[in-house]
Amino acid sequence: MKLAIAAIAAIALPAQSGLRSTWDGVYTKAQADRGKELYGRLCAECHGEDLEGDPENPPLATSSFVYKWNGLTVGDLFERVHKDMPANRRGSLTRRKAADLVAYLLSFNKFPAGDSELAAELAELRQIRFDAERKKQE
């Protein structure tokens, strides 16, 4: 049993190290701008104009938000947004709108934009590690 677990871990580790990071410019500014517009219409009522949240709705900015997702994937965040938001119309967002909203959340939390839009496909988004802090170059 221990040997099987070690073999699985050995196979999984190289795949993990090949993941892109939230610091790799995984969305575009135009996409984040679309997400900002959507956020104002669909999310601000509960999460606040400045993403600060309130006692009943979690903040979507600040270190508490960033560290909540640290070590997970952008796919995990996307899935939460896509399936559960907005709270009064769960599951009503298209995949594209959910990706635009996630791009806005990344932008607002100071992750850099890049040249390619954030995908709307879960398999691709699971290849992007949510890193709260930029890893030092080795």
Length of the chain: 138
Query: Does 30 map to a domain?
Result: yes
Closest CA to 102 of 87, 91, 92, 117: 117
Query: Pairing mode, if any, of strands 20-21 and 128-129?
Result: parallel
For residue 9, is it within any domain?
no
Mean residue pLDDT across the chain:
89
The arithmetic mean of pLDDT across residues 77-103, rounded, is 96
Q: Is residue 94 part of a domain?
A: yes
Per-residue pLDDT tens over the stretch 98-125: 999 999 999 999 999 999 999 999 999 9
Number of domains in the chain: 1
Q: What is the pLDDT of residues 38-62, one digit of tens each?
A: 999 999 999 999 999 999 999 999 8
- CATH value at residue 36: 1.10.760.10
Q: Cβ atoms within 10 A of the Cβ of 102, count? A: 27
108 within 8 A of 61, measured Cβ to Cβ: yes
Confidence of residue 15 (pLDDT cuts 50, 70, 90): very low
pLDDT-based confidence at residue 1 (cuts at 50, 70, 90): very low
pLDDT value at 4 more than 50: no
Domain for residue 4, yes or no?
A: no
Is 91 a residue whose pLDDT tops 80? yes
**Does residue 130 surpass a pLDDT of 50?**
yes
Q: Which residue has the higher pLDDT, 4 or 28?
A: 28
Q: Is residue 138 in some structural domain? A: no
Q: With respect to residue 136, please indicate whether it lies within any of the assigned structural domains.
A: no
- Percent of the chain, pLDDT > 90? 83
pTM for this entry: 0.86
